[in-house]
Structure 1
Amino acid sequence: MTQLPLRAQLASALGRSAATLSRMTGRGDGSVIGGRIGLLLEPDLLRQLARDRKLALVSATNGKTTTTRLITSALLELGEVATNAFGANMPAGHVSALAQHKRAPYGVLEVDEKYLPQVLDTTGAGVVCLMNLSRDQMDRAAEIWLLAQKWRKALSGRPTHVIANCDDPLVTWAASTAAKVTWVAGGQRWKEDSWCCPECGGPLDRKDADWACRECTFHRPEPQWAVDGDSAIDPRGQRWLLDIQLPGQANRSNAVMALAVAEAFGVTVDRALPRLREVTSVAGRYTTVERDGRHARLLLAKNPAGWLEAFDVADPQLPVILSVNAQGPDGRDTSWLWDVDYRILRGRPVFVTGERRLDLALRLDVAEVAFTLCDTFNEALAMQPPGRVDVIANYTAFQHIRSEFGRAV
């Protein structure tokens, strides 16, 4: 790799030192502060760190941290990989990740949906993975059609190889301007944000996995890859069992997206799939933690689509603790709770906690779901009998619970 200019070397070194100090003092994992300091000293540091590397950018409303982890595992077949493993998905996090692995020839970066055009322009990444777009953080994120429009404009005319989920009409529309697209039938359980055609505004007709606009020619492209139950089907029609350890249909979709990206880097399925099987948890997601005989499995759900996937993974025979905050990273607006169908929890022991527990309690009351209101997570956990319990929490509530157990990964 080309040696960095002296100013960039200094900025990178000081950023790494700040990140190390942050970890040593227990203030955080250093994945943001190091990048911020580096960018303060050298505003063009991300571009310089990205130069000469083969990069993949991963963006979506849901699943990007997990898919980034899966792709990274697959690409380890080729050598060292730089990645923002803990979800710091804005430029400061990208700088920190690349600086920490300054000699890695490969990089896989999770990118916040809003920042994708900027990061793509800065890094010139050769591969972009786009999975889904749905409502999220309503007080911060723009209308998702506007996000899709920004993606579409950013990809237009670029030589970037895009791996895109063709089951999501917004993702398909955004990716269709790219010079090269590999279409993946990754599924779309949450459809409430894509009943209208992004091309003309007409209604979309849906039949099984297929969709097409009733008023123009916009339609679902033919996929090269597909997830079919517990298997992936590759472009040659070969079926591969997705016997990964991460649970749920959404993670099998994430896995087939990861396999498609890995093949774009030259890693065949037979080499990539064993790497994917090694991933057991992602930044605390799906981890089971234990206290006083109570085994709590941690599930993250940040928005309506995410809650739908969490319900798919949660065991209906177990009690469930729900925790919701509304801090900056969550979005201050909790009106999205009314888009989640909580009736699936009827008949289960449900315990509600978090800073916005009263908002969630009202939503559950309207859905006729019986629940117990708890002041803290510890109180909710202490009320459980010894055995297993599922915990579903949004972002900062999830991080708070992780910290209770030493930020389990």
Structure 2
Amino acid sequence: MKFLLKLIRFYLLLVIARLIKLAITMRNQTSGTSFIGMVMLKLYPDFLRHTAKYIKKEKIAVTGTNGKTTTAGILSHILETQGNSVIHNEKGANMLTGIANTMALSIYPFKRFDYTVLESDEAYLSKLYDYLDTNYLIVTNLFRDQLDRYGELNTTAKKIQEAIDKNPKIKLILNADDPIVVNFQSLGDEPPIYFGFEDIQFMEKDIESKAPMELFNCSKCGKVLKYKKRFYAQQGHYYCDCGYTRPICEYSATAQIYNDYSIIKILHDDKEYELKTYLTGVYNAYNVLAAVVMALELGYEDLQSSLDTYQSVFGRCETKMIKGHKAVIQLIKNPTGASEVLKTVNTDNDILIVINDNYADGRDVSWLWDADFELLQGASKRIITSGVRAYDMAVRLKYAGIDNVKVIPNINQAILAITREAKGDITILPTYTALLEINKIKK
């Protein structure tokens, strides 16, 4: 009887979720990506516990500092194009309320899905596993990100390991090139599955990474790790004089990075897979590799057609028309990710940088000084800075040797200004809440 009452309560909440969504739509307003989930958890804290039975095959989570939205998006698209039904929090709402929001609007009482692909914030993964475990966890990387919110990297790593410990049957898909990620271990019998790059080549322009590199101590003896190869930030082939070294990868890859696409070759069990992706940059090569490795683990091998039809997700190399101009929108949120994004910016475009310091962005914007904005020194047109910290961004550009800068704090006015001045394409580099504001006005 108690179970029946809980089930009825769950079904009623699904109805309430859709009624809220309908009311919001009729008023031509947006609920964001978490409001309905917040209501669900407020009315029934165990709401997420009831969602697991609606997944027939596998539940997959993706976490890490950078790349989790893109990795989850690619994987979800691959699974869908292979004929599967997938629940995926595609808008990047990756805290508990955002995941509940996605589940509430996806699930129907008598419909089951093949997979769920859930991007999870690093700090909220443990809370997610209190209610909904997953069969697989992909960890992309760990970089400095919003230190005022999460503290040092070791603190974030501990939060992820705590989550893993709650789910002993989990299978870990780990980036072997990251010396922190590689240390995650499951309490169960399943050994981690490692992926990584053996070599990365820039075929048209060779840009040496200047992204800040964290110094990491060997997990065996405590000495500072050394590198044979470094691909970006701390990712690469690390080793220690004590004998500790990067693990052998079940999926080893090479990448050829061109201006407009990349060729990735993956070797697994003496079989090679060659794939072309139109997502550019080293960081996206890692994202594609992580998603493809997960797909291969699930038994899907014919993946090129899926990659060909993949469209960039919200704010990640997203291309939109804004007031008659093609705009490339790339989220920046920490020094490592921003530095890699800046490598891909076309400096012939009109450039708008929008920096906010709201909670979701991180209050501490000192990371601007660690990101390699010197890469914009070749900008042929004036750069506009906007957002709450527009003046901080302008000062950072001045110290980068870039003087042709205009400050327009109001984002709407900045969009109008750049679209009036631009003769061609536009590049917009926003932080997260700035991206949300731009998304409301860009059409």
TM-score, scaled to structure 1: 0.90
Deviation at 1:301, TM superposition (A): 0.9
SS of 2:39's equivalent in the other structure is helix
Match of residue 94, structure 2, among 89, 93, 99? 89
Match of residue 221, structure 1, among 247, 272, 285? 247
SS of 2:248's equivalent in the other structure is coil
Matched, 1:265 2:270: no
Matched, 1:238 2:271: yes
Q: How does 1:151-230 map to 2 (within 5 A)?
A: 151-156=160-165, 158-175=168-185, 179-185=190-196, 190=211, 192-198=213-219, 201-208=222-229, 209-215=236-242, 218-229=244-255, 230=263
What residue identity is the alignment partner of 1:202? K
SS of 2:36's equivalent in the other structure is helix
Contact 2:172 2:186 in 1 (8 A): no
Contact 1:242 1:255 in 2 (8 A): no
Contact 2:350 2:422 in 1 (8 A): no
Match of residue 248, structure 1, among 270, 281, 292? 281
SS of 2:98's equivalent in the other structure is helix
Per the alignment, residue 22 of structure 1 pairs with 24
**Whole-angstrom CA distance in 1 between matches of 2:385 and 2:32:** 31
Match of residue 58, structure 1, among 58, 62, 67? 62
Matched, 1:308 2:345: no
Deviation at 1:251, TM superposition (A): 1.8
Cα deviation digits, residues 332-366 of structure 1 (max 9, x gap) = 11111111121111131322222211111111112
Contact 2:161 2:185 in 1 (8 A): yes
Comparing 198-207 with 172-181, greater Cα deviation is found at 172-181
Contact 2:357 2:365 in 1 (8 A): yes
Contact 2:317 2:328 in 1 (8 A): yes
Match of residue 384, structure 1, among 411, 421, 424? 421
Deviation at 1:198, TM superposition (A): 4.9
Alpha carbons of 1:322 and 1:371: their partners in 2 closer, same or farther (altered >3 Å)? farther
What residue identity is the alignment partner of 1:154? A
Alpha carbons of 1:21 and 1:252: their partners in 2 closer, same or farther (altered >3 Å)? farther
SS of 1:136's equivalent in the other structure is coil
Per the alignment, residue 45 of structure 1 pairs with 47
Match of residue 9, structure 2, among 7, 10, 21? 7
Alpha carbons of 1:78 and 1:195: their partners in 2 closer, same or farther (altered >3 Å)? same
What residue identity is the alignment partner of 2:227? R
Deviation at 1:240, TM superposition (A): 3.1
SS of 1:184's equivalent in the other structure is strand
Contact 2:215 2:224 in 1 (8 A): no
Cα deviation digits, residues 102-145 of structure 1 (max 9, x gap) = 23231000100101122134212101010011111122123221
Contact 2:17 2:105 in 1 (8 A): no
**Whole-angstrom CA distance in 1 between matches of 2:417 and 2:114:** 46
**Whole-angstrom CA distance in 1 between matches of 2:65 and 2:278:** 22
**Whole-angstrom CA distance in 2 between matches of 1:197 and 1:233:** 28
Alpha carbons of 1:44 and 1:334: their partners in 2 closer, same or farther (altered >3 Å)? same
**Whole-angstrom CA distance in 1 between matches of 2:339 and 2:270:** 30
CA RMSD of aligned residues (A): 2.5
Match of residue 138, structure 1, among 122, 135, 147? 147
Question: Structure 2, unaligned stretches of length 5 or more?
Answer: 201-208, 230-235, 256-262
Comparing 171-180 with 9-18, greater Cα deviation is found at 171-180
Deviation at 1:200, TM superposition (A): 5.1
Question: Structure 1, unaligned stretches of length 5 or more?
Answer: none
SS of 1:251's equivalent in the other structure is helix
Alpha carbons of 1:31 and 1:354: their partners in 2 closer, same or farther (altered >3 Å)? closer
Deviation at 1:44, TM superposition (A): 0.8
Comparing 323-332 with 185-194, greater Cα deviation is found at 185-194
Match of residue 398, structure 1, among 427, 435, 438? 435
Contact 2:169 2:187 in 1 (8 A): no
Comparing 273-282 with 16-25, greater Cα deviation is found at 16-25
What residue identity is the alignment partner of 2:213? E
Contact 1:14 1:37 in 2 (8 A): no
Matched, 1:109 2:96: no
**Whole-angstrom CA distance in 2 between matches of 1:11 and 1:41:** 8
Count residues in correspondence.
402
Deviation at 1:191, TM superposition (A): 5.9
Deviation at 1:253, TM superposition (A): 1.6
What residue identity is the alignment partner of 1:6? I
**Whole-angstrom CA distance in 2 between matches of 1:249 and 1:205:** 21
Deviation at 1:231, TM superposition (A): 1.1
Per the alignment, residue 75 of structure 1 pairs with 79
**Whole-angstrom CA distance in 1 between matches of 2:13 and 2:337:** 37
SS of 1:358's equivalent in the other structure is helix
Contact 1:74 1:275 in 2 (8 A): yes
What residue identity is the alignment partner of 2:403? A
Comparing 242-251 with 85-94, greater Cα deviation is found at 242-251
Contact 1:164 1:171 in 2 (8 A): yes
Per the alignment, residue 319 of structure 1 pairs with 350
TM-score, scaled to structure 2: 0.84
Contact 2:347 2:378 in 1 (8 A): no
What residue identity is the alignment partner of 1:373? K
Contact 2:323 2:442 in 1 (8 A): no
**Once the two structures are aligned, what percentage of the paired residues are identical?**
29
Cα deviation digits, residues 250-283 of structure 1 (max 9, x gap) = 22221111111122323x221x332232112202
Matched, 1:354 2:354: no
What residue identity is the alignment partner of 1:405? K
Cα deviation digits, residues 4-27 of structure 1 (max 9, x gap) = 711122223212332343344343
Cα deviation digits, residues 47-99 of structure 1 (max 9, x gap) = 21123522100001111111111111112225211111101101111122222
